[in-house]
Structure 1
Amino acid sequence: MEWMEYIKAVILGIVEGLTEFAPVSSTGHMIIVDDMWLKTQQFLSQPAANTFKVVIQLGSILAVVVLFWGRFMDLLGLRRRKAKNGGNGSDQGRLKLTQVIVGLIPAGVLGVLFDDYIDEHLFSTRTVLIGLVVGALLMIAADVWGPKRPKAETVDQITYGQAFSVGVIQCLSLWPGFSRSGSTISGGVLFGMSHRAAADFTFIMAVPIMAGASGLSLLKNWEYVTADMLPFFAAGFISSFIVALLAIRFFLKLINRIKLVPFAVYRIVLAGIIFFML
């Protein structure tokens, strides 16, 4: 491969890192950046290009694991917490692994049942445009009609009911372009979470469901991870990981202040750009 191909890998990794966990649809951005501009399919076979996208997605997932490492250790019971104010360091008043599992069940079940159908029939530019616009409307609705005084200001205050409700809303993200974080943060806000609590819960839930889906996809296409492709894949993976680290930190500091409407407007503009470019 020539050096220009490696630059394309880095660019796609940057796009993945910036957009995977922001409520703006990484799929929509990949359509613009890769399908319309970089056109990696000109030097990669379609299966190899799909495998590359899985690899850079794993880079962004690793960033979440690093940023939420302490939280994951707590959930798995692998870290002993210090007691506060003379307490015994119990799990009371903390997010529990069972709550995360409850949130994962709806989309996990539907994803397993309809994975092949989604891959065959829903991955098109038209469906992504629909997902971008309808998802934007959901985000606007969350900011307009969500409770002004959230019942759960932090992720440790969410209830099992809220966890399951967000899990149901997450099913919308199976539609390409809808955005996992866009749907789940909107659902969390509508069901009484603060924007930051909903975002934290979204990122925590994303790791097992995305790692599982990406891992299975990578295993299916392992034959395309050849020695000559490893530097290309590594360039995308590393750039995705580094950019996602920075982007997630920035997003979590910002979300309670600007809410979801600015991201919704951006999505509608993005849908317009894709429509007119095509």
Structure 2
Amino acid sequence: GLAYDALIHLATGLAIIIALRQEIGRILAGFNFKRQDSAYRKNRKSFGLIVLAVIPAGLAGLIFDNLIEEKLRIVEVVAWSLIFWGVVLWWAEYYNNKLTKKSSLEQLSWPHALGVGLMQVVALIPGTSRSGITISAGLFGGMDKKTAVKFSFLVGLPLMLGAGILKFFEMISREGLGENGLALCAGFASALISGIIAIKLLLWLAEKANFNVFVVYRILLGIVLLLV
């Protein structure tokens, strides 16, 4: 329902802010226009890259969100999306491991950002993990794994907060908070904690291991959905 959607989006947005607070603070510091040294200019560029990556999915979400929900939220679509994009994530990491030169957050280009942004549009299809597909796009684009994870969540932050706020006000106008306020607060706290853990885990896997656990999980879940 609307309450659940608003809860998940807002909790995920706050989890990103908490987990990546240093990166977000550094990017926002770029708005100190009195500073024109290289570091501050790079911070301002990072903000522009995030905005560019957000625009395609933001527009597509506003225009097609309800249509996609109605037409594509069926078990077969979800299952095959889980399997297909799980394989793509494995392939992206395999490809990225072969690269000799990779980009950090400060070295990202405008085409990098646009590519990730366009993949966020595809993530509107049910069963397609937004973080998974944008991390894959980053890896194919030559980002190092940790940068791909960070950029994925940074470009997802405005979408999460925007969608959460829209759905929250839609819920208030239709249903009000009703008698479920306490349950919603508990659910929000649970989603927030699990979101922070998931982000930290992805960052750890990017630095110390690989994403195979998520690849296997997605493929197995997709197979189970097809068999049930």
With the shorter chain as reference, the TM-score category is 0.7 to 0.9
1:1-278 matched pairs, under 5 angstroms? 49-77=1-29, 88=37, 90-94=39-43, 96-146=46-96, 147-152=98-103, 154-222=104-172, 223-276=174-227, 278=228
Does the 8 Å CA contact 1:57/1:237 hold for their aligned counterparts? no
Alignment partners' CA distance in 2, 1:79 and 1:108: 23
Q: Which runs of 5+ in 2 are unaligned?
A: none
Alignment partners' CA distance in 2, 1:194 and 1:208: 23
Worse overlay, 113-122 or 175-184: 113-122
Alignment partners' CA distance in 1, 2:122 and 2:30: 33
Shift of 1:89: 6.6
Alignment partners' CA distance in 1, 2:210 and 2:64: 32
Q: TM-score, normalised by structure 1?
A: 0.73
Alignment partners' CA distance in 2, 1:244 and 1:52: 15
How far does the alpha carbon of each residue in 1:130-183 deviate from its partner, in whole angstroms, 9 at most, with x for none?
Answer: 21011112112212333522420x222211111111111222211111100110
How far does the alpha carbon of each residue in 1:213-248 deviate from its partner, in whole angstroms, 9 at most, with x for none?
Answer: 121122112143424110010110011112222332
Percent identical residues: 27
Does the 8 Å CA contact 2:6/2:163 hold for their aligned counterparts? no
Alignment partners' CA distance in 1, 2:63 and 2:100: 37
Alignment partners' CA distance in 2, 1:273 and 1:252: 28
Partner residue of 1:7? none
Number of equivalences: 224
Alignment partners' CA distance in 2, 1:105 and 1:270: 31
Does the 8 Å CA contact 2:81/2:128 hold for their aligned counterparts? yes
Structure 1 residue identity aligned to 2:132: G
Structure 2 residue identity aligned to 1:52: Y
Partner residue of 1:23? none
Alignment partners' CA distance in 2, 1:96 and 1:78: 9
Shift of 1:88: 4.5
Shift of 1:93: 4.1
Does the 8 Å CA contact 1:58/1:214 hold for their aligned counterparts? yes
Shift of 1:207: 0.8
Shift of 1:275: 2.5
Larger Rg: 1
Q: TM-score, normalised by structure 2?
A: 0.87
Root-mean-square deviation (Å) = 2.4
